[in-house]
Amino acid sequence: MRWIHRGSLIECDHDGRVVNVASQRWVTIGGAPVLVDADPQGKAILGCPNFGPTIKPCLRTLRVTAGYSSWLRVDGQRVVLSNLDGLTDGSPPGLVHYTVRDPSQSFVEADA
């Protein structure tokens, strides 16, 4: 699994793009800060095409359900890995996930 950083592509199941924000700045990959524990949660999702009269587009990420390293940490916070998975606030509720589509780097990897 690859380490995930601010430039990695994370999207909802409908191809809306998650806005990555890194809470730490001192560990980087290619100049982009690595994402750590809770960075993927509560982030905006842009361009989700899933909308209609009774359909809610994905607007925010919810809690991460998988994708944190069990042993790699930056300043005490778990590193986010490319097996990242969590739910969004879009419809149908409790069924729409966000995942890493492209880690956007090929040199730093780790086991979970």
Per-residue pLDDT, 112: 66
The continuous run of DSSP H or E covering 65 comes out as strand 61-74
Residue 112 within a domain: no
Whether the predicted pLDDT of 110 surpasses 80? yes
- Residues 28-82: tens digit of each pLDDT: 999 999 999 999 999 999 999 999 999 999 999 999 999 999 999 999 999 999 9
Q: Residue 26 falls within a domain, yes or no?
A: yes
3 in a domain, yes or no? no
How much of the chain, in percent, has pLDDT values that exceed 90?
A: 94
Determine, yes or no, domain membership for 111: no
How many Cα atoms within 13 Å fall on the side-chain side of residue 102? 6
Domain residues for the domain of 51 are 9-102
pTM for the predicted model, two decimal places: 0.95
Measured CA to CA, the distance from residue 12 to residue 60 in angstroms comes to: 10
Q: Is residue 76 part of a domain?
A: yes
pLDDT for the residue 99: 98
What the block records as the tokens of 7 is 């430039």
Closest CA to 53 of 91, 85, 21, 82: 91
- Domain annotation covers residue 70: yes
Tally of domains in the chain: 1
Q: Are residues 22 and 33 in contact, defined by beta-carbon separation less than 8 angstroms?
A: yes
Does residue 4 belong to any structural domain of this protein?
no
Please, what's the b/e burial string for 5-34 (b: 16 or more CB within 10 A of its CB; e: otherwise)?
A: bbbbebbbbbebbbebebeeeeeebeebbb
